[in-house]
Amino acid sequence: MAQLSHNGAIGLGKILVREAQKY
């Protein structure tokens, strides 16, 4: 379960980076 949360956090981080690069 901890690894799943960790992977989820990485996914969110990548999404945030992509959103930040748009602007």
Give pLDDT, residue 2.
66
Specify the pLDDT at position 22. 76
The one-letter amino acid at 4: L
Could you tell me the CA-to-CA distances from 18 to 4, 8, 12, 13, 14 in Å, in that order?
Answer: 21, 15, 10, 9, 6
| pLDDT of res. 23 | 66
pTM of the shown model: 0.45
pLDDT digits (tens, 9 = 90+) for 1-23: 567 677 788 989 999 999 998 76
CA distance 21 to 10: 17
Helix (H/G/I), strand (E/B), else coil: 18: helix
Amino acid at 11: G
